[in-house]
Amino acid sequence: MKKMFCLALAGAFVTQIASAQFAINSSSGLFALSYRGTANSTWYGWGSGSFDGLTNDELIDNPAPTFGSTVAGLSFTQSPDHDILSSGNNIYTGGAPGNTDLLFALPTSGTSGSGFTTIILQGKTAFGPFGGEPLFGLINGTSATYISGLNATGGGQFWAKFELAGNQPIYNLTITLANTTISIAELQIDTYWSATGFASDTAVVPEPSSLALVGLGSFAVVAWKRRSRQA
């Protein structure tokens, strides 16, 4: 059964984040956004076992998307070139000699230089918590609203949203993974452009049929606005 929840991620206050955190705790997987597949939207991502790239070299070097479609200009690589993939070709940083940057070029579908662009990234583990939190860099000086928590199956799950004035055909983003144990087995990215405003946060929440709904705000919340990073 699928139900509709409003994720209410517009502000930085914990009270405004509570319903989004509740939705993560209630969900059995990543959210299907209400505008996915509509005009001026893009959707792409990588599923479990698909993070190795064109060659089997244990590096992320432009793996083909397993969700959505291959969009012109899409790029997903890493720096530096050390092994952060598990034997199952998921991201696993345990044992890496240092931090690793995930480097993205994210195509959008909009009218360049006008309107409002929304970019949402979601990720989850195969099981259990992340072990550490990914650090999202800025896009054109704008930080992400970020939340994370355990979903209904006990896996770590995150949601990061950028709201960007205007539009560019491609946006560059760096996500830094510390050399602690950070695990990511699924990653999906949605973009949406509108001439009139940012996208709403309404999404279809996959949930187990046996799950009973509980009161908002009853879960631990990890939420903050990413500001700037020192070089």
Contacts of 203 (CB under 8 A, 6+ apart): 4, 5, 7, 23, 31, 32, 33, 34
More confident residue, 133 or 21: 133
Task: Answer whether 157's CB lies under 8 Å from 122's CB.
Answer: yes
Residue 124 has pLDDT above 90, yes or no: yes
- CA 211/CA 153 separation, integer angstroms: 10
More confident residue, 130 or 211: 130
The reported pLDDT for the residue numbered 13 is: 34
Q: Mapping DSSP to helix (H, G, I), strand (E, B) and coil, where does residue 19 land?
A: helix
Contacts of 33 (CB under 8 A, 6+ apart): 43, 120, 190, 192, 199, 202, 203, 204
Q: What is the pLDDT of residues 152-181, one digit of tens each?
A: 999 999 999 999 999 999 999 999 998 788
Q: What is the pLDDT of residues 101-118, one digit of tens each?
A: 999 999 999 999 999 999
Among the residue ranges 54-63, 164-173, 214-223, the one predicted with the least confidence is 214-223
Q: What is the pLDDT of residues 192-217, one digit of tens each?
A: 999 999 998 655 555 443 332 222 22
CATH fold for domain 37-200: Jelly Rolls (2.60.120)
- CA 17/CA 21 separation, integer angstroms: 6
- CA 51/CA 100 separation, integer angstroms: 14
The reported pLDDT for the residue numbered 70 is: 76
